[in-house]
Amino acid sequence: MRIDLKSFTKSTLFAIGSVLGFSSPAFATSGVVLQSSDFVGISFWLISMALVAATAFFFLERDRVAGKWKTSLTVSGLVTLIAAVHYFYMRDVWVATGSTPTVYRYIDWLITVPLLMVEFYLILAAIAKVPGGVFWRLMIGTLVMLIGGYVGEAGYVAVWPAFIVGMLGWFYILYEVFAGEASKINAAQAPASVQSAFNTMRLIVTFGWAIYPIGYFAGYLTGQGPDSSMQALNIVYNLADVLNKIAFGVIIWSVAVSESEKK
């Protein structure tokens, strides 16, 4: 295996530098410290570190895979990088105030969720000719889902109609990956390893992603208000992100490596 020292240094410095660069100012200004009994704060910290490590890993592993798989790994690394920086900020807000508005998460979701959707397009594009319509349908579904949820949580639209619109966006994505054109290209043209990755990815988008609308439902539609479930909700969202961002990236990494090493 050839080790490309130049790109090794470049990508590592980039990953670590950007994470530290964004996190340290916020860290220095927060006056309160993390308590050892603060499980939510600790989970923010733990997962932000896992996200940093995942970022370095995906960027470094680009060197190991064939050219057509590199973009997929770049995108996985960007997802974990954006989330890591975001987690630093949410941790600080949590430690300082004992709460962190769910609306903050939408800033992260608005960038990372479309990138996760692009991954479906990219892994198919690495092995087949994929029409642009697949990309756009996944993108539109994502935006409808997130904007629907956001206007509900931020209070611009009543919580129920906003929830229903968001759910329709999600169902549209599920339709595309289980029965639409993306699923047909996968079934007809993808090699076994890509089909198996595609299959696991769509299960994550079904079950892993279901955690977020359940959180919305528990927070807004049970009549209790999100404040009463703030602790539990944050732990659940944090664990969900490990599955939906890190594990999702690892699946893509694994198929990229096995396809690249195929003779």
Ligand X SMILES: *C/C=C(C)/C=C/C=C(C)/C=C/C1=C(C)CCCC1(C)C
Q: Which stretch binds ligand X (CB under 6 A): 69-77, 122-130, 190-198, 205-213?
A: 205-213
- Residue 94 binds ligand X, judged by CB under 6 A: no
DSSP reduced 3-state for 32: coil
Q: Closest distance between ligand X and the C-beta of residue 99, in Å?
A: 18
CB 194 within 8 A of CB 188: no
Pick one of 244, 246, 251, 256: the residue that binds ligand X (CB under 6 A). Answer: 244
Q: Closest distance between ligand X and the C-beta of residue 195, in Å?
A: 22
Q: Which is nearer to ligand X, 64 or 215 (CB)?
A: 215
How far apart, in Å, do the first and last CA atoms of the chain sit? 15
Label residue 151 exposed, middle or buried (CB < 10 Å: 0-12, 13-18, 19+).
middle
CB 99 within 8 A of CB 86: no
Q: Which stretch binds ligand X (CB under 6 A): 30-38, 57-65, 107-115, 126-134?
A: 107-115
Q: Closest distance between ligand X and the C-beta of residue 77, in Å?
A: 14
- Residue 216 binds ligand X, judged by CB under 6 A: yes
Contacts of ligand X in 126-155 (CB under 6 A): 145-146, 148-149
* Distance between CA atoms of residues 15 and 200, nearest Å: 27
Query: Hey, what amino acid is at 51?
Result: L
Pick one of 94, 163, 220, 253: the residue that binds ligand X (CB under 6 A). Answer: 163
Contacts of ligand X in 30-49 (CB under 6 A): none
| H-run or E-run covering 167 | helix 159-178
* Distance between CA atoms of residues 221 and 159, nearest Å: 7
- Residue 226 binds ligand X, judged by CB under 6 A: no
Whole-Å CA distances, 110 to 114, 120, 184 = 7, 17, 27
Say what angle helices 132-153 and 209-220 make with each other, to 10 degrees: 20
Mention every residue, 6+ apart, whose C-beta is less than 8 A from residue 196: 255
Binding mask 179-198 for ligand X (x = CB under 6 A): --------------------
Q: Which is nearer to ligand X, 213 or 226 (CB)?
A: 213
Q: Closest distance between ligand X and the C-beta of residue 189, in Å?
A: 27
Q: Which is nearer to ligand X, 116 or 256 (CB)?
A: 116
Chain contacts with ligand X (rule: CB under 6 A): 109, 112-113, 116, 145-146, 148-149, 163, 166-167, 170, 209, 212-213, 216, 241, 244-245
